[in-house]
A = this chain, B = another copy of it.
Amino acid sequence: MEIFKSRYRHLLRSYLKESSEKALYQAQLFSRKSILQQISPEEIISLHSEALKEIFPDIQEEVLLSFDFLLEVMVDYGLAYQEHQSMRDQQF
């Protein structure tokens, strides 16, 4: 997970610097790898919030707090996704 964390931070930093299509493409590649590694959508929200905290040390505390809410909303999406994984495993 630590590798994903620093990779995400690195990619996000590049995106904020360049705002290029190439940097967005890196986001897609990251996403595919994280899905393969069974990283849940709520873990992605955590990665994002932690990366923002490190990239912007003066970010408003309330903005960071808002991610707890977003994370809670994502939990059910994570469950639906896990169900998808197990249904797929049963099919093959």
Contact surface of A with B, Cβ cutoff 8 Å:
11-12, 15-16, 19, 23-24, 27-28, 30-32, 34-35, 41, 44-45, 48, 51-52, 55-56, 59-60, 62-63, 65-66, 68-70, 72-77, 80-81, 83-85, 87-88, 91
What residues of B have a CB within 8 angstroms of the CB of A69 in the complex? Answer: 11-12, 15-16, 23-24, 27
Knowing A69-B24, A83-B84, say if A32 contacts B76 (CB, 8 Å): yes
Q: Which of B24, B35, B87 contacts A88 (CB 8 A)?
A: B87
Q: Which of B55, B63, B80 contacts A84 (CB 8 A)?
A: B80
What residues of B have a CB within 8 angstroms of the CB of A80 in the complex? Answer: 35, 81, 84-85
